[in-house]
Amino acid sequence: KKDVLLKCKEITERAKNLDLFKYNLEQFLDLGVKDRNELIEELNESVIQKMLKINGISLSTTTKILHTLYPKIIPMIDNPLQDKYKKIISKSWTKKQADEILTDFYNNLKIESNRKNLNIILDEISRNNLINLSRIRIFDILWWSYLKAEKLRKKHRINWNTIRY
């Protein structure tokens, strides 16, 4: 709805000078843990929690809006990823602790092998003329694909390992 979008726009406009938005993913991952966590907490308090108070706006919607505005640094934390996080990582997790899921998301990317593999995928995609995909978006697609395959395996007994290319 128009009024909901206007409220979201007000919040994002007020927060556009947050330090987090000045970084690309590589720069952000290279920050110390304390500095990275402080920027994530500031995002959670200044933007995410305010948007979650708007009727009809979820964490998934919030991160999609933020990803649209800042695609090189903000991931999309969709509902299947939130559900998996709550089930496997933190059973007591709530959307009020959005900074926790974001911190863990970035910590996952900080792992050297994940970072290296992500860069390999980006290079391969770039060689195939698929442009405008950020590392964050690629990682989001990988997570979504994994969760979708897991759901289909459970629901329809589809084993993705048997699909040949």
Tell me which residues of the chain have a pLDDT lower than 70.
Answer: 129-132, 152-153, 156-165
* Token pair listed for 35: 């500095």
The Cα angle at residue 144 between residues 90 and 36, in degrees rounded to 5: 55
pLDDT value, residue 159: 59
pLDDT value, residue 165: 37
Cα separation of 96 and 104, whole Å?
15
How far from the centroid of its chain's Cα atoms is residue 69's Cα? 13
40-64: pLDDT as tens digits: 999 999 999 999 999 999 999 999 9
Residues constituting the chain:
165
pLDDT value, residue 163: 44
- 110, 29 contact by CB (below 8 A): yes
pLDDT value, residue 162: 47
pLDDT value, residue 122: 80
pLDDT value, residue 164: 42
pLDDT value, residue 156: 64
Q: Write out the chain in H/E/C secondary structure.
A: CHHHHHHHHHHHHHCCCCHHHHCCHHHHHHCCHHHHHHHHHHHHHHHHHHHHCCCCCCHHHHHHHHHHHCCCCCCCCCHHHHHHHHHHHCCCCCHHHHHHHHHHHHHHHHCHHHHHHHHHHHHHHHHCCCCCCCHHHHHHHHHHHHHHHHHHHHHHCCCHHHCCC
